[in-house]
Structure 1
Amino acid sequence: MTAERTRVLVAGATGNQGGAVVDNLLASDTEFDVRGLTRDADGDAARALADRGVTMVEGDLNDQESFRSHVADADAVFAVTNFWTQGYDAQVRQGKNLAQVADEEGVDHFVYSGVGSHERDTSIPHFDSAWEIERHAQDLDLPMTVLQPVFFFQNFEAFAEDVVEDGTVALPLEEGVSLQMVDVDDVGRAAAAAFENPNEFVGERFELAGDEKTLAETADVLSEVTGVDVEPYHVPIEDAYDDFGEEFTVMCEWFNEVGYDADVDALEETFGFEFTTLEEYLREHGWEDKEGMASIPGWVKAL
Structure 2
Amino acid sequence: MASKKVITVFGATGAQGGSVARAILESKKFAVRAVTRDVTRPNALELQRLGAEVVKGDLNDKVSVDSALKGAYGAFLVTNFWDALNKDKEVCQGKLVADSAKHLGLKHVVYSGLENVKRLTDGKLEVPHFDSKGEVEEYFWSIGIPMTSVRVAAYFENFLAAWQPVKASDGDYYTLAVPMGDVPMDGISVADIGAAVSSIFNSPEEFVGKAVGLSAEALTIQQYADVLSKVLGKEVRDAKITPEAFEKLGFPAAKEIANMCRFYEMKPDRDVKLTHQLNPKVKSFSQFISENQGAFKGM
Q: Same fold (TM over 0.5)?
A: yes
Please, which of 44, 52, 56 is the counterpart of residue 46 of structure 1? 44
Structure 1 residues not aligned, in runs of 5+: 294-303
1:214 offset after TM fit, Å? Answer: 0.9
Q: Provide the residue aligned with 2:237 in structure 1.
A: 231
Matching residue of 1:125: 128
Q: For the residues of structure 2 that align with 1:225 and 1:168, how far apart are their CA atoms?
A: 15
Q: Match of 1:301?
A: none
Q: Note the C-alpha offset of 1:14.
A: 0.8
Q: Is the 8 A contact 1:144 1:202 kept in 2?
A: yes
> 2:178 maps to what in 1?
171
The match for 1:157 among 156, 160, 167 is 160
Q: Deviations over 1:42-75 (max 9, x none)?
A: 2333223223222111121111112212201211
CA contact (8 A) 1:116 1:149 kept: no
Structure 2 match to 1:268: 276
Report the secondary structure of 1:234's partner residue. coil
The one-letter code matched in structure 1 to 2:232 is T
| C-alpha displacement of 1:117 | 7.3
Say if 2:257 is the partner of 1:248: yes
1:156 aligned partner, one-letter code: F
Please provide the CA RMSD for this pair. Answer: 2.4
Instruction: Specify which of 270, 285, 290 is matched with residue 283 of structure 1.
Output: 290
Among residues 145, 148, 164, which one is paired with 1:145 in the alignment? 148
Match of 2:53 in 1: 55
Shift of 1:220: 0.6
Report how far residue 166 of structure 1 moved.
5.4
What letter matches 1:230 in structure 2?
Answer: V
2:134 alignment partner, SS class: helix
The one of the two structures with greater contact order (alpha-carbon pairs below 8 A, sep at least 6) is 1
Q: TM-score, normalised by structure 2?
A: 0.87
Aligned residue identity for 1:193: S
Counterpart of 1:105 in structure 2 is: 104
Q: Which contiguous aligned blocks of 4+ residues in structure 1 show a shift greater than 6 angstroms? A: none
* Deviations, residues 169-218 of structure 1 (Å, cap 9, x unaligned): 221222x2211111212221111011222222222221111111111111
Give 3-state SS (helix, strand or coil) of 1:21's partner: helix
Structure 2 SS opposite 1:186:
helix
Would you say the 8 A contact 2:114–2:131 is kept in 1? no
Give me the TM-score of the superposition, normalised by structure 1: 0.86
Residue ranges of structure 2 left out of the alignment (5+ in a row)? none
Distance apart, 1:112 and its partner CA: 0.7
**% identical aligned pairs:** 34
- Provide the rounded CA distance (Å) in 2 between the counterparts of 1:107 and 1:3: 18
Alpha-carbon contact 1:150-1:260 (below 8 Å) kept: no
Contact 1:208 1:264 in 2 (8 A): yes
Q: Are the aligned partners of 1:207 and 1:261 in contact in 2 as well (CA < 8 Å)?
A: yes
Separation in 2, partners of 1:116, 1:187: 18
Alignment partners' CA distance in 1, 2:133 and 2:179: 23
* 1:80 maps to amino acid: V
Paired amino acid for 1:7: V
Question: Structure 1 residue 232: deviation in Å?
Answer: 1.5
**Letter in structure 2 aligned against 1:36:** A
Q: CA offset at residue 120 of structure 1?
A: 3.9
2: CA distance, partners of 1:50 / 1:127:
32
